[in-house]
Amino acid sequence: MICYLQNIALRAWIRKFMLAAILSMVATPVFAKIIHIKVKDMAFSPKKIFAHVGDILKWDNGDFVVHTATTEDQVWNITLPAHDSGQVVLNKAGHINYYCRYHPAMTGEITVKE
Amino acid sequence: MRQTQKLLTILAVLSSAAFYGHNAHAHTPAKINDAQIAHIAYTAGVIDIKTANLALEKTQNAEVRDFAQSMVKDHTTVNDQALALVKKLNVTPEDNDTSKGLVKQADAERAKLAKLDGAAFDRAYATNEVAYHKTVNGALENTLIPSASNPELKDLLTTGLKIFKGHEEHAEHVVADLK
């Protein structure tokens, strides 16, 4: 009888553990956002972005010329083909200045928080 | 630099509100038409591509090389868009005195640039690009865009102007960095 009750308790604990694990997997993307940046008429819009670690930045290039999203330290150099997009996952906190390598007057800023 | 001034004079005439084709002395001036506008805009792009290709042959400077590559890339794209549009509109770009004058003067300017080397070439090329874009942009803004009657051509020229203003700023950065 005791063994039977122990089995039931163990199964209930396993169910709870699995439920918690599944919930945590489902819940993670809820906190990570996809932030869209419009690239049009030779400008990034919005020019300033506030984001969190884990967020995804997605640049949607509406121009018919190729652009890039390139950090000043060249850690990213994302090509944004004409009428196409490019993205990056923000994996650490900090302040980032970026520009288009082909059109350096196009600039943007991202502040990433934990 | 005299050749540059002649080239800029041609474009400056274009950028003035008084430009009405080669029949400027007539009382009823002939307004520039869409076929001529398309030809002038396309020609201006070809000129900048040829000058950029010369820069790519001659320069050893990474910044100048990047700039020249951008000029080839963007002007080729804009000209491809222009060709697609005139095909769609069934318009044949019409050669005209302005286009011919631009080509003649640009050829002479390129021949002068070709004689320069190293830092002297880089400075002359970048300075010329600032002046060239400034004047072409003025012509687009003041004459070609207002004169274009087809809305799609007007849109393409307007988009082109935004791109070329970016080039002008880029060229100014290069000139400043070369000092």
Please, is A31 exposed, middle or buried when counting C-beta atoms within 10 Å of its C-beta (0-12, 13-18, 19+)? exposed
Q: Which residues contact B8 (CB under 8 A, 6 or more apart)?
A: B131, B132, B135
Structure tokens at B43: 């020609």
Q: What are phi and psi of A88, to 5 degrees?
A: -150, 145
CA dist., res. B36 & res. B92, Å (int): 9
Cis ω before A46 (30° cut-off from 0): yes
- Flag if A65 and B173 touch (Cβ within 8 Å): no
Which tens digit of pLDDT belongs to each residue from B3-32? 555 555 655 555 544 344 344 343 444 589
pLDDT at A2 over 60: no
Beta bridge partners of A99: A70, A107
Which tens digit of pLDDT belongs to each residue from A90-104? 999 999 999 999 999
Cβ atoms of B147 and B154 within 8 Å: the answer is no
CA dist., res. A26 & res. A32, Å (int): 11
Q: What mean pLDDT value characterizes chain B? A: 87
Confidence at residue B14, expressed as pLDDT on a 0 to 100 scale: 55
Q: Return the residue in B49, B65, B159 with the most chain A beta carbons within 10 A, the one to mutate for interface testing.
A: B159
Residues of A in contact with B81 (CB under 8 A): 64
List A residues 58-87 in contact with B (Cβ-Cβ < 8 A): 63-66, 82
Which tens digit of pLDDT belongs to each residue from A31-89? 789 999 999 999 999 999 999 999 999 999 999 999 999 998 888 999 999 999 999 99
Confidence at residue B34, expressed as pLDDT on a 0 to 100 scale: 95
- Flag if A42 and B165 touch (Cβ within 8 Å): yes
Confidence at residue A31, expressed as pLDDT on a 0 to 100 scale: 74
pTM: 0.79
Confidence at residue B99, expressed as pLDDT on a 0 to 100 scale: 92
Choose among B78, B50, B95, B89: nearest CA to B157: B78
What separation in angstroms does the CA of B135 have from each of A35, B131, B139, B140? 39, 6, 6, 9
Distance from CA of A63 to the nearest CA of B (A): 9
What is the interface size between A and B, counted as CB pairs within 8 Å? 39
Structure tokens at B77: 């794209």
What percent of chain B has pLDDT above 70? 83
Structure tokens at A59: 């640049």
Place of tokens 């769609």: B88
Asked if the C-beta of B9 comes within 8 angstroms of chain A's C-beta atoms, the answer is no
**ipTM for the complex shown:** 0.77
- Flag if B77 and A64 touch (Cβ within 8 Å): yes
Choose among A51, A62, A18, A106: nearest CA to B159: A62
Q: Return the residue in A41, A45, A61, A65 with the most chain B beta carbons within 10 A, the one to mutate for interface testing.
A: A65
- Flag if A64 and B70 touch (Cβ within 8 Å): no
Q: How confident is the model at residue B145 (pLDDT cuts 50, 70, 90)?
A: very high
Confidence at residue A15, expressed as pLDDT on a 0 to 100 scale: 72
